[in-house]
Amino acid sequence: MAADAAGIAEAARILRRGGLVALPTETVYGLAADAASDAAVVRIYAAKARPSFNPLIAHVTSLEAALRQGIFSAGALRLAEAFWPGPLTLVVPLAPGATVCAAARAGQQTIALRVPAHPVALAVISAAGRPLAAPSANRSGRVSPVTAAHVARDFAGEIDLILEGGRCPVGLESTVVECLEAHPRMLRPGGIARTDIEAVLGHALGEPAGAGSVRSPGMSRSHYAPRATLRLEAATRGDGEAGLDFGGIFGKGKNVLDLSPRRDLVEAAANFFCFLRELDAREPACIAVAPVPHEGLGEAINDRLFRAAAPQS
Ligand code: TXA
Ligand code: MG
pLDDT digits (tens, 9 = 90+) for 33-46: 999 999 999 999 99
Residue 151 and residue 29 in contact, taking contact as beta carbons nearer than 8 Å: yes
**Ligand 1 centre from 91 Cα, in Å?**
9
The pLDDT assigned to 245 comes to 98
Could you give the CA distance from residue 188 to residue 171 in angstroms, rounded to a whole number?
15
Residues 171, 274 contacting (CB under 8 angstroms)? yes
pLDDT at site 311: 76
Q: Taking a C-beta distance cutoff of 8 angstroms, is the pair 34, 128 a contact?
A: yes
Give the Cα separation of 199 and 97 in Å (integer): 33
Pocket test for ligand 1, best of 56, 111, 113 (most atoms within 8 A of CB): 56
Sequential DSSP letters for 41-77: HHHHHHHHT--TTS--EEE-SSHHHHHTTBPPPHHHH
- CA pair distance 149, 271, nearest whole angstrom: 15
CA distances from 164 to 21, 22, 264 (A): 11, 9, 27
CB atoms within 10 A of CB 235: 9
Q: Which amino acid is at 119?
A: P
Q: Which is nearest to 205 in space by CA: 196, 214, 215?
A: 196
Answer whether 52's CB lies under 8 Å from 62's CB. no
Counting ligand 1 atoms within 8 A of each CB, the residue from 54, 57, 146, 172 with the most, and so the one to mutate, is 57
Pairing of the two strands 286-289 and 242-245: parallel
Q: Which residues line ligand 1 (CB under 6 A)?
A: 25, 27-28, 30, 54-57, 87, 89, 91, 105, 108, 110-112, 114, 116, 134-136, 173-174, 176, 187-188, 216-219
Residue from 168, 173, 181 to probe ligand 1 pocket by mutation (most atoms less than 8 Å from CB):
173
pLDDT of residue 220: 61
Q: CA 190 to CA 272: how far, in whole Å? A: 12
Q: Atom 10 (ligand 1): residue with closest C-alpha?
A: 135
- Can you state the percent helix, strand and coil of the chain, rounding each to 5? 30, 20, 50
Mapping DSSP onto H, E and C, the string for 159-203 reads CCEECECCCCCCCCCCEEEECCCCCCEEEECCCCCHHHHHHHHCC
Nearest to 139, CA basis, from 127, 153, 128: 153
Looking at residue 224, what is its pLDDT?
80
pLDDT in tens, the chain (313 residues): 999 999 999 999 999 999 999 999 999 999 999 999 999 999 999 999 999 999 999 999 999 999 999 999 999 999 999 999 999 999 999 999 999 999 999 999 999 999 999 999 999 999 999 999 999 999 998 899 999 999 999 998 999 999 999 999 999 999 999 999 989 999 999 999 999 999 999 999 998 876 544 455 555 666 788 999 999 999 999 999 999 999 999 999 999 999 999 999 999 999 999 999 999 999 999 999 999 999 999 999 999 999 999 876 5
Q: List, in order, residues 6 or more apart from 235 with CB less than 8 Å away.
A: 249, 290, 291
Question: How many angstroms does the Cα of residue 54 sit away from the middle of ligand 1?
Answer: 8
| Predicted pLDDT of residue 75 | 96
Q: What is the structure's pLDDT at 212?
A: 46
* pTM (predicted TM-score): 0.95
Alpha-carbon distance of 63 to 76, in angstroms, equals: 11
